[in-house]
Amino acid sequence: MNPNKESSEFAINEMPENEYKFSDLISDPRVRDRWEKVRKYFFLRESTYDMTNRCNIKCDGCYYYEGDKQFAVENKDPDAWRDLMKTEKERGITYVVLAGAEPSLVPDLNKVCYEHIPLGCIATNGLKKIDPSIGFKIHISVWGNDDTSFRIRNAKQMLLKQIENYQNDPRAIFVYTFVKNNIDEVKEVAKILADTNCKMTFNVFSAPVGYEGDLKHTKKSLAITREVMLDLIKQYPETVLFSPYNVMAHTHTYGLHDLFGCSYPRQNPSTAIGLGRSFRQYRTDLTWDRSVACCVPDTDCIDCRHYAAGSAVVTARLHRHANNPDTFQSWLDYVDTYLAVWVMGYEKERNLMNKLVAPPGHEVI
């Protein structure tokens, strides 16, 4: 599929890579303002935490119930979590991602984390409302329309329940995961979310290691996903938090690791600086293992197009994106989007770049 077809109205970048100074790249006041806006958040240092080994639904393709982490013994002691958060803060962690299996089932532990590190996010299926006093972003997973949710998650009227719990909640971001067979359903879901004043962003299913089931993307399904994403950015600019460069990065034939070089410890042996130095992925027994540490453990790295991974992996590659105006502005759009999705109070601006710009060193497809 040609991503430059007329209906999408998104052109492909053809700017050659020239020698630009960084001062040239930020000479445009709009670009400089955006750079100054996003750089204020360079202090964010994340780690992720599995809060429990329980969930109230069972989804096909769930990352949590792959690999060894699902067998970790659950630590339910708030004091142990309090101690962990204190030591995490001491070693420089400023942002926590509470995930696996279903954090809403352990409200006391969520509260302990929030009290010690007040910037963060909770990944939830949205069926049990998280106490409004916890001021983390809430990422609510959506895997198609309610018929598909019932089929692959065994949960009835899931979107309806999620909206009931989180409509008009500034914490809430509905994260629509594109799998191979739910691409068109996003149009129905996006309309419902737009009509109910909810915010959404996109994720692309990334197969767990060894997974060869029906959810896994093909080149064709990625290309179709790309078209649909671009259409929805245009159709619902107030609802959809995404940019053309997000589309590029997450629907490319190559996964994030091949495009950008994943900087999580699982793929990055260096402990000198950055994610390789500071990131940890704690299991629910409060242990961690550097060799499997990333934001979506047990994902097949070659197939990784996960939104959480991209938020760190693409953002971390500032250096290689500061080589021409289009690439740099695309990177700024990506970071602006990531901050709007992950940080309470950060509002996304209008995208600077409305072209599909190729990742450094790669083609657009």
Query: CB–CB of 255/220 below 8 Å?
Result: no
**Is residue 318 part of the contact set for other proteins (CB under 8 A)?**
yes
Cβ partners under 8 Å of residue 237, min gap 6: 350
**Is residue 16 part of the contact set for other proteins (CB under 8 A)?**
no
Q: Which is nearer to other proteins, 213 or 269 (CB)?
A: 269
User: Binding segment for other proteins among 18-26, 185-193, 242-250, 279-287 (CB under 8 A)?
Assistant: 18-26
For residues 236 and 191, give the distance between their C-alpha atoms in angstroms, rounded to a whole number.
Answer: 8
Q: Which is nearer to other proteins, 133 or 272 (CB)?
A: 272
Per DSSP, the three-state class of 108 is: helix
User: Binding segment for other proteins among 66-74, 159-167, 216-224, 265-273 (CB under 8 A)?
Assistant: 265-273
Per-residue x/- marks for other proteins, 36-75, CB under 8 A?
Answer: ---x--xx-x------------------------------
Tell me which residue of 178, 169, 176 sits closest to 198, measured CA to CA: 169
Q: Which is nearer to other proteins, 179 or 316 (CB)?
A: 316
- Which residues between 277 and 316 bind other proteins (CB under 8 A)? 277-278, 315-316
Min dist. Cβ of residue 355 to other proteins (A): 23
Tell me which residue of 264, 292, 275 sits closest to 72, measured CA to CA: 292
Min dist. Cβ of residue 28 to other proteins (A): 16
For residues 288 and 121, give the distance between their C-alpha atoms in angstroms, rounded to a whole number.
Answer: 19
Min dist. Cβ of residue 15 to other proteins (A): 19
**Is residue 344 part of the contact set for other proteins (CB under 8 A)?**
no
Q: Which is nearer to other proteins, 92 or 213 (CB)?
A: 92
Tell me which residue of 200, 125, 191, 181 sits closest to 155, measured CA to CA: 125
Choose which of 97, 200, 228, 275 interacts with other proteins (CB under 8 A).
275
CB atoms within 10 A of CB 300: 15
User: Binding segment for other proteins among 10-18, 232-240, 274-282, 290-298 (CB under 8 A)?
Assistant: 274-282
| Both tokens assigned to 143 | 């895997």
Q: Which is nearer to other proteins, 148 or 278 (CB)?
A: 278
Query: CB–CB of 20/323 below 8 Å?
Result: yes
* Residues β-bridged to residue 97: 48, 121
Per DSSP, the three-state class of 209 is: coil
Q: Which is nearer to other proteins, 22 or 71 (CB)?
A: 22
Min dist. Cβ of residue 118 to other proteins (A): 19
User: Binding segment for other proteins among 20-28, 183-191, 210-218, 241-249 (CB under 8 A)?
Assistant: 20-28
- Helix runs in 117-238, H state only: 146-153, 158-166, 185-195, 219-235
- Which residues between 136 and 165 bind other proteins (CB under 8 A)? none
Per DSSP, the three-state class of 39 is: helix
Min dist. Cβ of residue 318 to other proteins (A): 4
Q: Which is nearer to other proteins, 91 or 156 (CB)?
A: 91
Max CA pair span of the chain: 58
SS3 of 239-295: CECCCHHHHHHHHCCCCHHHHHCCCCCCCCCCCCCCHHHHCCEECCCCCECHHHCCC
Min dist. Cβ of residue 76 to other proteins (A): 33
Q: Which is nearer to other proteins, 210 or 273 (CB)?
A: 273
Choose which of 16, 18, 21, 238 interacts with other proteins (CB under 8 A).
21
**Is residue 23 part of the contact set for other proteins (CB under 8 A)?**
yes
**Is residue 96 part of the contact set for other proteins (CB under 8 A)?**
no
Cβ partners under 8 Å of residue 229, min gap 6: 178, 202, 242, 246, 247, 251
- Cα-flanking dihedrals φ and ψ of residue 139, to 5°? -100, 115
Q: Which is nearer to other proteins, 201 or 263 (CB)?
A: 263
Binding residues for other proteins, per CB under 8 A? 21-23, 39, 42-43, 45, 92, 263, 270, 272-275, 277-278, 315-320, 322
